């Protein structure tokens, strides 16, 4: 999987710098204007069960709309994280848990939510993630 996103960065003097961001699975590759590539891995090993539980509590406290607005994610489309018979958006929960663990916010496009991404990471932490049930 490869996504390329163009971003405009404004320097303090308002000169524009264009950077190309390429996401390849769990690594974010950043090409600076000079063509040099830098890599920032997402440190999933820093996320603990406690961070995920804190993100779930935040979701319950804020409700879906305020949670998504506060943390920059959207509702799930494919999988649900299941905890105490409640269903949660796994990508949004994991992204928020990562922010709690590291202090660094991830955008939704920074990582995968499917079985090679958030589903896999949450499974390794002992959480149950299931395919989303069709609406009834």
End-to-end CA distance of the chain: 32
* Whether residue 59 has pLDDT greater than 90: yes
Q: Is the pTM of this model over 0.85?
A: no
Q: Which residue has the higher pLDDT, 12 or 22?
A: 12
Q: What is the structure's pLDDT at 135? A: 66
Q: Residue 35, class by beta-carbon neighbours within 10 Å (0-12 exposed, 13-18 middle, 19+ buried)?
A: exposed
> From CA 105, how far away is CA 103, in angstroms rounded?
7
Which among 85, 86, 79 has a CA at the least distance from the CA of 119?
A: 79
Summary mean pLDDT of the chain: 79
* Tokens coding 39: 């890599």
Q: For every residue of 78-97, which 3-state class applies, written as one string? A: CEEEEECCEEECHHHHHHHH
> pLDDT by residue (tens digit) across 69-86?
999 999 988 999 999 999
Q: Is the dihedral of CA 123, 95, 92, 112 positive or negative?
A: negative
pLDDT class of 117 with cuts at 50, 70, 90:
very high
Q: What is the structure's pLDDT at 17? A: 44
Q: Residues of the chain with pLDDT > 90: what percent?
A: 61
Q: What is the structure's pLDDT at 40? A: 53
């Amino acid at each position: 999987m490869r996504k390329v996103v163009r971003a405009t960065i404004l320097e303090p003097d308002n000169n524009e710098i264009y950077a190309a961001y390429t996401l390849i699975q769990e690594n974010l590759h950043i090409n600076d204007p000079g063509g040099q590539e830098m890599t920032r891995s997402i440190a999933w090993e820093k996320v603990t069960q406690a961070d995920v539980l804190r993100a779930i509590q935040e979701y319950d406290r804020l409700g879906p709309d305020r949670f998504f607005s506060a943390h920059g994610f959207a509702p799930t489309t494919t999988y649900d994280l299941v905890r105490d018979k409640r269903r949660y958006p796994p990508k949004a929960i994991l992204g928020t848990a990562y922010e709690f663990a590291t202090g660094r916010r991830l955008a939704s496009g920074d990582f995968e939510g499917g079985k090679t991404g958030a589903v896999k990471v949450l499974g390794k932490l002992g959480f149950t993630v299931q395919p989303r049930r069709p609406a009834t």
